[in-house]
A and B are shown apart, each in its own frame.
Chain A
Amino acid sequence: AQSVAQPEDQVNVAEGNPLTVKCTYSVSGNPYLFWYVQYPNRGLQFLLKYITGDNLVKGSYGFEAEFNKSQTSFHLKKPSALVSDSALYFCAVKDSSASKIIFGSGTRLSIRP
């Protein structure tokens, strides 16, 4: 069975500071990992994915995520937060042999000016 956990309901960061949104996963095979962002009353927008290759993945809007196999984590990061980054962030995982993508419970990111 596959699962994904986002341990933080909310993350608060001052503008200009680095941000991290945590994600851990569990799959039986090789993991395909994704991050999505959701703005109010909108669908989810794809940010980045890890399938294979370099553990550090760069995505949209200056976001990046690091795949850590030993810790089964895929934390989302950004060196310098913007107020416009305030949104709901979802981590998702798919086992390489599965058809469904499983989403975490979401983390609300709030960037204060």
Chain B
Amino acid sequence: GAVVSQHPSRVICKSGTSVKIECRSLDFQATTMFWYRQFPKKSLMLMATSNEGSKATYEQGVEKDKFLINHASLTLSTLTVTSAHPEDSSFYICSARDFSEINSPLHFGNGTRLTVT
């Protein structure tokens, strides 16, 4: 089945630094990937839709200069949390669909636990 790999699984960084999270589709091409943030009370919030070769589409309330998304190839999207602050600490999850498969479900990475100290 389709596999999405997300790296790193955990990262601890100091306030003010930037952190890059990678999301790769391993056995399929993903023209579109999605980035979610999961809060402690478990709800999943869509942050942005990453489009290969073009600008990401951000959801309302998500700062595009804070959460930089790059989707330079059909198998890789990156999310960079710039000038991280403790309130950015969260669980970030990426997902992708295999558009070659009709009505394909979303396939998720294993998530990245970000802790900003």
Listed in ascending order, the chain A residues whose CB lies under 8 Å from chain B are: 32, 34, 36, 41-46, 49, 51, 88, 90, 92, 99-101, 103, 105-106, 108
Which residue, of B4, B42, B43, B105, has the highest number of chain A Cβ atoms within 10 A?
B105
Q: Is the interface of A mostly helix, strand, loop or mixed?
A: strand
B44-80 vs A: 1/0 string, CB under 8 Å?
A: 1010010000000000000000000000000000000
**Least CB distance, B6 to chain A, in whole angstroms:** 7
8 intermolecular pairs with C-beta atoms under 8 Å apart = A34-B105, A34-B106, A41-B111, A42-B110, A42-B111, A43-B6, A43-B109, A88-B42
B110 touches A106 (CB 8 A): no
Listed in ascending order, the chain B residues whose CB lies under 8 Å from chain A are: 4, 6, 9, 32, 34, 42-44, 46, 49, 91, 93, 95, 103, 105-111, 113
B110 touches A43 (CB 8 A): yes
Check A43/B108 contact, CB under 8 A, given A51-B103, A100-B49: yes
Contacts A43-B95, A88-B42 supplied; 8 other A-B pairs, CB < 8 Å: A32-B103, A42-B110, A43-B4, A43-B6, A45-B108, A49-B103, A100-B34, A103-B43
Complex: how many Å from CA A105 to CA B45? 9
Closest to B94 in A: A43
Complex: how many Å from CA A26 to CA B18? 39
Residue in contact with A41 in the complex, picked from B46, B105, B113, CB distance below 8 Å: B113
Complex: how many Å from CA A90 to CA B105? 13
Nearest 8 pairs between A and B by C-beta? Answer: A43-B108, A44-B108, A106-B42, A46-B105, A43-B110, A103-B44, A51-B103, A43-B111
A106 touches B43 (CB 8 A): yes
B46 touches A100 (CB 8 A): yes
A46 touches B42 (CB 8 A): no
B42 touches A43 (CB 8 A): no
A108 touches B42 (CB 8 A): yes
**Least CB distance, B108 to chain A, in whole angstroms:** 4
Complex: how many Å from CA A51 to CA B103? 7
